[in-house]
Structure 1
Amino acid sequence: MRSLTLTDRLLSGVDNALRTLFTTPAGTGRPVPGAGLPEAELTDAERAHAGRLMRVNHAGEVSAQGLYQGQAITARSEKVRRTMEHSAEEENDHLRWCELRMNALGAHKSCLNPLWYAGSFTLGALAGIAGDRWSLGFVAETERQVVRHLDEHLGSLPPADERSRAVVAQMKHDEAHHGAIATELGGSPLPLLVRKVLMPAMSKVMTRTAYWV
């Protein structure tokens, strides 16, 4: 089997972008967490809130796809590239799970998903160009912040909505695992300004906007 050229990886990236934005990727085929639980009796306000939270989570997974694909294209190490691609495949499970929950709750995808993907793809590619250690450090820090964000959602989702809570809990477990792998592979801690100011600010813009749009 021949090695993939940069052009091959770019074309693959375009294909992945189209699949992420306009289809429901299959991912690894893992079953939906909480699928055997009964659908909750929610008030209209609770249903709307839960649907919007799942839309935020779905938009976050669209961003994750962009991030991982951008990093995979520019990764210097084949091992790092394969790790990024495997993590992206598992994140596709999250996309599918979130979409199913949005459908059940009567919510729609964020209209700005192409923007979230493009912005994250650019950041991921730039991190990869900076070097694998910085790229992996960016993944590790991103996943740490995502875990905190999912914790907030677990505290905000209606207690009766056990299906959504099961999905978010499994996503949180997976995100922590992806962050740990990035650290083990040699990810470097990011500068304080990036970790404490820039990344939280970008996350806040995305989450607050995706909640409504």
Structure 2
Amino acid sequence: MSCAQLMGSCFPWRLGTVAPRHLSAYGRRISVRFCSSGLTLDKISRAAVDRIIRVDHAGEYGANRIYAGQMAVLGRTSVGPVIQKMWDQEKDHLKKFNELMVAYRVRPTILMPFWNVVGFALGAGTALLGKEGAMACTVAVEESIAHHYNNQIRALMEEDPEKYNELLQVIKKFRDEELEHHDIGLEHDAELAPAYAVLKRLIQAGCSVAIYLSERI
């Protein structure tokens, strides 16, 4: 039995209630409150939910760092407000997954420091190619994330859409917003970026590797 499964079997209270008080490692009593949910921890697939929330949290964190890098280069240009608006939505996504990680007791990937650096470097690097480069990056990344979200939605729907309804609603909403970002990138001349097709393939290959690693590590 995994650590997550053991925790799920030992703490069967419903999310949205206050957990019994426990001693911390320092002997102090602590209490944990989980966000409202219709799920009980012993009725969900812990391994599946852990994997989904961990990788989605990492993805939204990486997206935030990409937009931060783009804003560092293009924030004062005419496209700055467009990038800022997309970044603000990504901040909301990350905030929600931070909450879900606490609610479902999921640990983040150990690669977070790496995604911090790589995400910012990717955002700034493509922005140095100009507005078109930044938008090409947005198209590539958001297309990858939307595809990944669609795979998660399909898997949860096949298993039990009612049981995973809360998580499904979150993922569907964020998937739709990522697709909006994708379309915004195309509207702002992403396809005019230098070597657009090659750049897009390289970025999406990197996204695939990041998803694979973040799910597992």
Contact 2:73 2:124 in 1 (8 A): yes
Change beyond 3 A, Cα 1:60–1:103: same
Q: Which residue in 1 is equivalent to 2:10?
A: none
TM-score for the superposition, normalised by structure 1: 0.75
**Larger C-alpha radius of gyration, 1 or 2?**
2
| In 2, Cα distance between equivalents of 1:42 and 1:94 | 26
Q: Which residue in 2 is equivalent to 1:194?
A: 199
Change beyond 3 A, Cα 1:141–1:55: same
Q: Which has the higher contact order (CA 8 A, sep 6+)?
A: 1
Residue 207, structure 1, aligned to residue 206, structure 2: no
Alignment of 1:30-179 (within 5 A): 38-39=38-39, 42-43=42-43, 46-75=45-74, 78-157=77-156, 158-159=159-160, 160-179=163-182
Q: Secondary structure at the match of 1:78?
A: coil
Q: Secondary structure at the match of 1:84?
A: helix
| In 2, Cα distance between equivalents of 1:140 and 1:204 | 15
Letter in 1 for 2:99: L
Overall identity of the aligned pairs, in %: 22
- TM-superposed deviation, 1:152: 0.7
- Return the match for 1:182 from 150, 173, 185: 185
Unaligned stretches of 5+ residues in structure 2: 1-34
- TM-superposed deviation, 1:43: 4.3
Letter in 1 for 2:172: A
Q: Secondary structure at the match of 1:193?
A: helix
Q: Secondary structure at the match of 1:99?
A: helix
Unaligned stretches of 5+ residues in structure 1: 1-34
- TM-superposed deviation, 1:110: 1.7
Contact 2:50 2:106 in 1 (8 A): yes
User: Deviations along 1:174-196, whole A, 9 cap, x unmatched?
Assistant: 11111112222222265333333
Q: Which residue in 2 is equivalent to 1:16?
A: none
TM-score for the superposition, normalised by structure 2: 0.73
Letter in 2 for 1:199: I
Contact 1:67 1:125 in 2 (8 A): yes
Q: Secondary structure at the match of 2:191?
A: coil
Contact 2:54 2:106 in 1 (8 A): yes
**CA RMSD after TM alignment:** 2.1
Contact 2:190 2:196 in 1 (8 A): no
